[in-house]
Amino acid sequence: MRAGVAGGVLSTLAVAGASGSANAAEPVTQTLELPTLTADLAAQVAQSADATQQAAANYQLQAERDAAAAQAAKQAKADLAEAKEKAEAKKKAAEEARKAAAERASRDAGRTTLATTASTATASAPASGSVGAVISFLKAQVGDAYVMGATGPNAWDCSSLVQAAFKQVGVDLPRVSQDQSTVGTDIPLSQVQVGDILYWGGKGSAYHTGVYIGDGQYLDAANPSKGVVIQDLSGYPASGAVRVL
């Protein structure tokens, strides 16, 4: 009986030992389970993405607004500068117009005085006084424009200026240069005196006239670029001269 029990115990131990050896040979493996993506977590992720997109959109909109504001400010500054420039130009033009009007009024007043003096000279003054009135009238027109066919008071051609000057003292001259060269008394250029009419071209076919004012100078409505001027006779010698006073 003891032999039987002992044999049973030894068999049990042998089995247990074999089982232990087998368990010791097998590796131990640990399994980790990942958390499951729940519906709440998915919603939170989607909400975060929407918030990020909205923030980006807001940033872009703000950037566009800032750029538009900067452009508007720049344009407003340019418009203000342009408005100031136009205002200054208008102010300057108005000032120049005012000065021109004042100068014109002064000249017109001077011409009225000269015309009155000339009328008086026609009635009672000797020829020398008449010549002085003619020269004074002519000098008052210096600076006026030359316009072919014009007869004053602010623009002349050569013969209309000569005609108007002598009309101040009651002398009626022909209108054109050709005819003005044939009136009065022929005078040699070496004996020309103040108030004599000078002409350029042939007698009866002259193309230009002026009036001798002394000291080797004459006054005429020269051309469109010069207007009414005083010039040296040496620079443009006349063809002949006539005397009507």
| Domain extent listing, the chain | 106-243
Q: Is the pLDDT of residue 50 over 60?
A: yes
Mean pLDDT of the chain: 78
Question: Pairing relation of β-strands 185-187 and 228-232?
Answer: unpaired
Query: Among the listed ranges 18-22, 69-73, 88-92, 139-143, which one has the minimum average pLDDT value?
Result: 18-22
State the average pLDDT over residues 167-186. 97
CATH number of 106-243: 3.90.1720.10
CA dist 142 and 26 (Å) reads 131
Buried residues in 167-197 as b, exposed as e (16+ CB within 10 A): bbbebebeebbbebbeebeebeeeebebbbb
Tokens of 73: 């400010």
Q: Which amino acid is at 67?
A: A
Would you say residue 102 has pLDDT above 70?
A: no
Please say if the pLDDT value at position 183 is more than 80. yes
CA atoms within 13 A on the CB side of 21: 6
Band (pLDDT 50/70/90 cuts) for residue 35 is low
Q: Is the pLDDT of residue 13 over 60?
A: no
**Cβ contact 199:191 at 8 Å:** no
Helix (H, G, I), strand (E, B) or coil at 153: coil
What is the predicted pLDDT for the residue at 162? 98
